[in-house]
Amino acid sequence: MKTDRRSFLRISSAAGASAMALGTNSIELVAQASRALGSRTPDDVAADESYWRDIQSAFTLDRSLINLNNGNSCPSPTVVHEAYKRYLDYSNQAPVYHRGLIERNIEVVRRRLAAEFGCDAEEMAITRNSSESLQIAQNGLDLAPGDEVLTTEQDYGRMLTTWDQRARRDKLKITKVNFAVPNTGEALFALLEGAITPRTKVLHFCHITNLTGQIFPVQNIARMARARGIITIVDGAHAVAHFPFKLRDLEMDYYGTSLHKWLLAPTGTGFLYVRRDRIAKTWPMQAAPERSENDIRKFEEIGTAPAATKAAINEALAFHQAIGTDRVAARLRYLTLRWANKLKANPNIKIHTGLDQVYGVACVGVKDVPAAQVYDFLWNKYRIITAAISRPEYNGVRVTPNIYTPLEEIDTFVAAMEDLLKNGVPAA
């Protein structure tokens, strides 16, 4: 199979490499490179640097810095960004007409996303991000004074703020449990189950946390909650297109995600999954007519908004499918383990993520060095972008590479951390 792939690369090298660099037809070129892999396993492909160079060349990036904060948002492949600009230009010719045409075609986006991620298209609303998706669920539930919402201290800050506001407005009880990291799925299940009381109406938790990449056993928790009549809301901001799963298999009631993270879609794209029997029971964020009560599209009512961002999801999804979620997940795991395995032996290093269940999100701390100082050192001396995570229980920098990240950048991060460990942080 490797010989076949080399043949493909020789045939397409001159035209293919230049076209890929410009983003021209890069989806088909990536698909061809993927087909040439044959039956090789994702773990085998994860270490094939010539294949991933094909993928890397499909992006237009600033290589004067090292972006290891893809957990915030990711650059789109050139073909996706060009499509986004093309849709914007088309809309701008006569917005009232052309934007409307694009908006009607968003049904294609809905169908394709639902097919890829495993749910009925009539259960998926196209939104602007995870926060909007989850707030639709959080604010759309009928809850009474004294009803309890059970969540965790390590859920996303904006979502916790949303529950705190509902508590002030509607006199809800918000219970936030904490947990050590790294942790096991079994322990997290037991923690949440043990915190349920007769007043618990909603269980809100992450599929994978944004802080350390801790993964929760969603299906088991959702089944347990449903048996007790408890509604489940799952924050999937970092899960979709990051590692393989199907929404229908998770069995929760609501699931929100951002597509400008691991799917590589334009900034301002996401989706909300709502279990079919919950649609009519959930109020939309903005008012919708009564006839839309059972229509998933009622959650998309936001007034006039650009259609180009949603339309370009199609190109992002096609690019992702040309690689495959299994290969993406394996590559992200490979990149993370490359730096983590080199650093973990140092007694002054603390990795706050379980390496047996890691993909592209991990958190690493340095003994007696605040996260903010580690962040500043990496940025000021090496121009490496991470994210500082400071909590009472742990602190470190979150490291999130992506499929466009070359090994050289991972090794530069390792060298930078070794520099910090050996020489310390320079005096201000």
Place of tokens 């097919």: 115
Q: Sheet with 349-351: list strands edge to edge.
A: 349-351, 362-366, 395-399, 387-390
- pLDDT range class, residue 427, cuts 50, 70, 90: confident
- Contact assessment for residue 386 and residue 396, using Cβ atoms and an 8 Å cutoff: no
| Short-list 344, 355, 336, CA closest to 181 | 355
CB 291 within 8 A of CB 347: no
**Alpha-carbon distances of 120 from 111, 112, 181, 186, 282, rounded to whole Å:** 8, 10, 35, 30, 18
Instruction: Enumerate the β-bridge partners of residue 175.
Output: 150
Q: Could you tell me where the beta strands, DSSP code E, fall in 136-190?
A: 148-152, 173-177
Tell me, what DSSP letter sits at residue 200? E
**Overall residue count recorded for the chain in this entry:** 428
d(CA 276, CA 254): 10
Cα–Cα–Cα angle for 78, 82, 88, nearest 5°? 150
Residue 184 has a pLDDT of 97
Q: What percentage of the chain exceeds 70 in pLDDT? A: 94
Tens of pLDDT, residue by residue over 7-38, are: 434 434 433 443 344 445 789 999 999 999 99
Residue 187 clears pLDDT 90, i.e. is over it: yes
Answer left, alpha or beta for residue 324, where phi above 0 means left and psi between -120 and 50 means alpha.
left
Q: How much is the mean pLDDT over the chain? A: 93
Q: 216, 207 in Cβ contact below 8 A?
A: yes
Beta bridge partners of 65: none
Predicted confidence (pLDDT) per residue in 218-240, tens digit = 999 999 999 999 999 999 999 99
Domains in the chain and their CATH numbers? 2-66 (no CATH), 82-317 (3.40.640.10), 328-423 (3.90.1150.10)
Distance separating alpha carbons of residues 148 and 173, to the nearest angstrom: 5
For the segment 76-85, the average pLDDT, to the nearest whole number, is: 96
CB atoms under 10 Å from CB of 135, counted, come to 21
The pLDDT assigned to 65 comes to 97
Contact 282, 274 (CB under 8 A): yes
